[in-house]
Amino acid sequence: MKICSLDDLSKIRNDRRSLNSRINGRSIEDRIEILVGLATCGISSGAKETQLAFENEIKEKNFKNISVIPVGCIGNCYSEPTVQINVPGQSPVIYGRVHVQDVPEIIEKHIRDGIPVDRLALTNPVDNKQMRIALRHCGLINPEDIFEYLACDGYEALGCAVTQMSPEFIIDEVKKSGLRGRGGGGFPTGVKWEITRAQPGERKYIICNADEGDPGAFMDRSILEGDPHCVLEAMAIGGYALGADQGIIYIRAEYPLAVSRLNTAISQARKLGLLGPNIFGSNFNFDIRIKYGAGAFVCGEETALINSCEGKRGEPNFKPPYPAQKGYWGYPTCVNNVETFANIAPIITKGSSWFASIGTEKSKGTKVFALAGKINNVGLAEVPMGITLRELIYEIGGGIRDGHKFKAIQTGGPSGGVISEEYLDTPIDYDNLIEIGSMMGSGGMIVMDETDNMVNIAKFYLEFSMDESCGRCTPCRIGTKRMYEIINKITSGKGTMADLNSLKQLTYMVRDSSLCGLGQSAPNPVISTMKHFMSEYLAFIPDPRAKLKFNVNKHSRKSKKAD
Amino acid sequence: MTKPQAIKAAEDRDQPLPEEYFDELEKFIIDMGDTQGALIEILHKAQCIFGYLPRDVQLFIARKLGIPAAEVFGVVSFYSYFTTEPRGRHTISVCMGTACFVRGSDQIIERFKEKLNIESNQITEDGNFTLKDVRCIGACGLSPIVMVDNKVYPRVEEENLDNIIKTYSSEGL
Ligand SMILES: Cc1cc2nc3c(=O)[nH]c(=O)nc-3n(C[C@H](O)[C@H](O)[C@H](O)COP(=O)(O)O)c2cc1C
Ligand code: FES
């Protein structure tokens, strides 16, 4: 069976009405649904065993009207395995830490007697602050069943795009929506598509960047594991808009589950004719291939990524030419992040003004953040741009673990910086974060409490950048190493004030002279910890007289020459 | 992580690499048809077949693709996923990503080093374990993470390590 028109699509959707109601939080008629979160984090906490236990229990007790459905990440990683139970006529209940031994109790009390098991229920009062666009289906549909995606308006946007809209119109919509790249740079997506479209030549490529190298960020993995079709659909829309008939997903080898779900999704879409020749009966052809990374952070940088796609060492190139001009095998190539793509279909179906009404003046829409570190509710949160860090940490994140005190939050991974308590009320968007010395990055947020030493954190990131430096340009290759050596000397208690000074100078040198974003941003953790937590650096310096001298100089800027 | 890997002039192995492994790899390459840009994919497959990428395998691939062996080695040494050393029967990977680091994974890997008496990227004397530090596997919500082969152990504490090692030790099997 192939889907050749929008009518075919709506027929399929009508046949599966039941699913649509699941998305709205209600199941139909007399069918009870048990959704088990089966993403990497769920599986490693034993969600598969939980799923099996539910299935066995249901068989044993001979229930007829219950289905157990594997879904992606619901977002409450702190309480895996998570299970959501939809009973008709009742609002859905989410349970956390559901292990095999809890299953009979849930079945007996909740499903048979209709009384939720309070002991396990997650009370999440914060959900009203969240707003799900990119994660709209994660945790609600079975990612390995294309019909579940179709039932909740999947591929509708693609169908409308290729049959009713011109490429220029789509680009204009994406531009007007104000969507900016979620991979870190924040470049307007519509503009990137327009530039790529404007390049001469017949052959163009669209690439999905699923390298997600920032340690501590996992939103791209969750999207790919929970809703792979939304990325495929958006890539096809992008391909249509900018004139590419081939897409590539570059994914890191560390994400085996995401790879297998993507492969399943691609072959299902091909079977239904949603990828391949003449999509929706139009003359638009599009297909997607997967390329695998092999463990190099720098391959997340777009020019390095393209080199790696070509099977070469993943070293970055000097820009310009930008990939949009000269990319994969020299052809114009548009590289976008997974989360960027996840926003595309809703923009097409609901319109750019709807999207542009969310967020702040310069940053529209929502952003998915991965909250990790010393925070109670570790997990994913999708919130409108402009929410404050305080709301994110204390309301959605549930505050700091074990009654400790907040000290700092690191955003933007190894390229970003730390943010101290005084900035907690800053509304989060691309520009504000840069202003306070950090950056949005991919959206990983690591919360630190008073037991964390900031110099050690800076050292940790430096070691990361040093290891991951590809070695192509000298400032980054040697500079990160020297900085690491100095900071190591400082933390081992042998540092002097002169070391602190050279460290500071090196940060600016490496930042200003490196070839690619890795080197240019590698000093950021040092710069920002020095700015906000200088006292912790000083505490490592053994000579108290030097300390005194430094403090004097610091407080009277005029005497700088005397230094 | 681009860690320098030693280039060996000669292979110091007692046992030659199995012929059928090479056949399998050759078939994979032939089935691909167009091999332009496929080097990384082929190396993934080769490592999957052989367990690691010794010099002979790299040379074999270079010849099959008609590219210089230096190009193959250049790619192998660039990516941390590829290894030119044989690995133990089990690979213990400790996540050293940020989320795991702030939850104490540096202590975990130190304990592993003590208990197994090896450094990271080394193999135990009995050939049973390789210890690796890896960057974020994307399960940051469950940090700190230890992964043995493909099994993920969430929220690992120092007390758990003996148990993990025992599960995979030869006697334990
Ligand atoms: C060192 C470095 C690492 C990067 N890693 C990633 C990554 O893991 N994922 C990603 O989407 N973008 C990453 N980027 C940004 C990409 O170069 C590129 O800007 C992005 O994929 C563009 O997509 P977007 O416009 O949708 O954000 C990285 C950039 C640098 C300099
Ligand atoms: S930091 Fe360890 S899994 Fe992400």
Distance between B173 CA and the closest CA of chain A, angstroms = 21
**Among all chains, which residue has been given the structure tokens 């230890």?**
B146
- Which one of A41, A314, A470 has the shortest CB-CB distance to B139? A41
Which residue in chain A has the smallest CA separation from B71?
A312
| Topology of domain A454-548, CATH | de novo design (two linked rop proteins) (1.20.1440)
Give the Å distance between the CA of A463 and the centre of ligand 2: 16
Compute the C-alpha angle B150/B152/B153, nearest 5°. Answer: 145
Q: Which of B108, B134, B143 has the most ligand 2 atoms within 8 A of CB, as the residue to mutate?
A: B143
Chain B CB within 8 Å of residue A451 CB: no
Chain-chain contact of B136 with A214 (C-beta, under 8 angstroms): yes
Token pair listed for A121: 């229920």
Tokens read off for A39: 């993403």
Residues of chain B found within 8 Å of residue A43, distances taken between Cβ atoms: 152
Q: Say how far apart CA A67 and CA A46 lie, in whole Å.
A: 19
Summarize chain B as % helix, strand, coil (round to 5). Answer: 45, 10, 45
Of all atoms in ligand 1, which is nearest to the CA of residue A303? 17
Could you say which of B1, B74, B99 has the minimum Cβ distance to residue A372?
Answer: B99
Where in chain B are all domains bearing CATH 3.40.30.10?
90-172
Interface contact flag, B79 A460, Cβ < 8 Å? no
> Could you tell me the CA-to-CA distances from A217 to A12, A99, B29 in Å, in that order?
36, 26, 35
Residue with tokens 């396990």: A120
Q: Strand, helix or coil at A112?
A: helix
Chain A hits for B4, CB-CB cut-off 8 Å, are none
Ligand 1 atom nearest to A212, measured from its CA = 8
* Architecture of the A146-356 domain: 3-Layer(aba) Sandwich (3.40)
Q: Is A352 in the pocket of ligand 1 (CB under 6 A)?
A: no
Answer yes or no: do A467 and B3 touch at CB < 8 A. Answer: yes
Domains of chain A, by residue range, sit at 31-123, 146-356, 366-449, 454-548
Cβ pair B80:A460 closer than 8 A = no
pLDDT digits (tens, 9 = 90+) for B30-72: 998 888 889 999 999 999 999 899 999 999 999 999 999 999 9
What integer is the mean pLDDT of B122-134? 89
Report pTM: 0.92
Q: How high is the pLDDT of residue A113?
A: 86
Mutate to test the interface with A, among B45, B67, B96, B101 (most CBs of A within 10 A): B101
CB A427 within 8 A of CB A386: yes
Q: Is B160 on the interface with A (CB under 8 A)?
A: no
Common-topology check for domains A146-356 and A454-548: no
Which residues on chain B are in Cβ contact (under 8 Å) with A410?
Answer: 98
Does A165 touch chain B if contact means CB atoms closer than 8 Å? no
Contact B152 A78 (CB under 8 A): no
Beta-bridged to residue A188, according to DSSP, are A180
Partner residue opposite A294 with nearest CB, options B40, B137, B145: B40
Inspect the interface and report whether the beta carbons of B154 and A80 lie closer than 8 Å.
yes
Residue (of A72, A295, A281) closest to A159 by Cα position: A281
Strand ranges for B19-161 from DSSP E: 90-95, 129-134, 146-148, 151-153
The pairs formed by B25-33 with CB atoms below 8 angstroms and a separation of 24 or more are B25/B49, B25/B57, B25/B60, B25/B61, B26/B64, B29/B61, B29/B64, B29/B65
Cα dihedral sign for A413, A419, A424, A425? negative
Show which of residues 53-112 on chain A sit within 8 Å of chain B, judged by CB atoms. Answer: 77-78, 80
Ligand 1 center to residue A306 CA distance, Å? 12
Separation CA A398–CA A59 (nearest Å): 38
A286: DSSP letter: B
- The closest residue, in CA terms, to atom 12 on ligand 1 is A183
A294 touches chain B (CB under 8 A): yes
CB nearest B41 (choices: A217, A292, A370): A292
Q: Which two tokens stand for residue A457?
A: 């954190």
Cα B168 to Cα B68: distance, rounded to the nearest angstrom = 40
Find out if CATH 3.10.20.600 is the number for domain A366-449.
yes
pLDDT < 50: residue spans in chain A = 552-563
Nearest to A287 by CA among A273, A279, A274, A276: A276
**Ramachandran category for residue B74: left, alpha or beta (phi over 0 → left; psi -120 to 50 → alpha):** alpha
With CA atoms as reference, the chain A residue closest to B96 would be: A215
Quote the ligand 2 centre to A264 CA distance (angstroms): 26
- To test the contact with chain B by mutation, choose from A205, A254, A339 the residue with the greatest count of B C-beta atoms within 10 A, namely A254
Q: Which residues in chain A touch residue B121, judged by CB atoms under 8 angstroms apart?
A: none
Rounded-to-integer distance, Cα A48 and Cα A54, Å: 10
Q: Residues 407-436, chain A: which have Cβ within 8 Å of B?
A: 410, 413-414
Q: Atom of ligand 2 at shortest distance to CA of B136?
A: 4
Question: What is the DSSP track for A468-489?
Answer: H--SSSHHHHHHHHHHHHHHHH
Helix (H, G, I), strand (E, B) or coil at A80: coil
Ligand 2 pocket list (CB less than 6 A): A 215-216; B 95, 97-100, 136-140, 143, 145
Give pLDDT, residue A29.
61
Q: Is the CB of A213 under 6 A from ligand 1?
A: yes
Q: Beta strand A66-71 with A83-86: parallel, antiparallel or unpaired?
A: unpaired
User: Which CATH class for the B90-172 domain?
Assistant: alpha beta
Please tell me the distance from the alpha carbon of residue B104 to that of residue A448, in angstroms, as a whole number: 12
What gap in Å lies between CA B90 and CA A360, rounded to an integer?
A: 50
pLDDT per position as a tens digit, A475-488: 999 999 999 999 99
DSSP assignment of A217-252 = --HHHHHHHH-HHHHHHHHHHHHHHHT-SEEEEEE-
List the beta bridge partners of residue B153: B146
- Residue A331 CA to residue A242 CA, distance in Å, equals 13
CA-angle at A438, arms to A434 and A442, nearest 5°: 95
Q: What part of B 125-144 touches A (C-beta under 8 Å)?
A: 134-143
Angle (CA) A337-A252-A220 rounded to 5° is: 40
User: How far is C-alpha A339 from the geometric centre of its chain's CA atoms?
Assistant: 6
Give the Cβ contact number of residue A13 at 10 Å. Answer: 19
How many angstroms does the Cα of residue A440 sit away from the middle of ligand 1?
A: 12
Q: How many CB atoms lie within 10 A of CB A118?
A: 9
Domain at A31-123, CATH homologous superfamily: Glutaredoxin (3.40.30.10)
Give the helix/strand (H/E) hosting B166: helix B161-168
Q: Atom 24, ligand 1: which residue's CA is nearest?
A: A181
Residue A500, SS3 per DSSP: helix
Which candidate from A44, A214, A314 shows the least CB-CB separation from B78? A314
E strands in A385-535: 406-411, 417-420, 444-449
Q: Kindly list the distances between the CA atom of residue A475 and the CA atoms of A43, A471, A523, B3, in Å, as whole numbers in the listed order.
A: 42, 9, 11, 18
Distance CA A425, CA A393 (A): 11
Mapping DSSP to helix (H, G, I), strand (E, B) and coil, where does residue A360 land?
coil
Query: Could B2 and A469 be called an inter-chain contact, meaning their C-beta atoms sit closer than 8 Å?
Result: yes
Token representation of residue A113: 């007697």
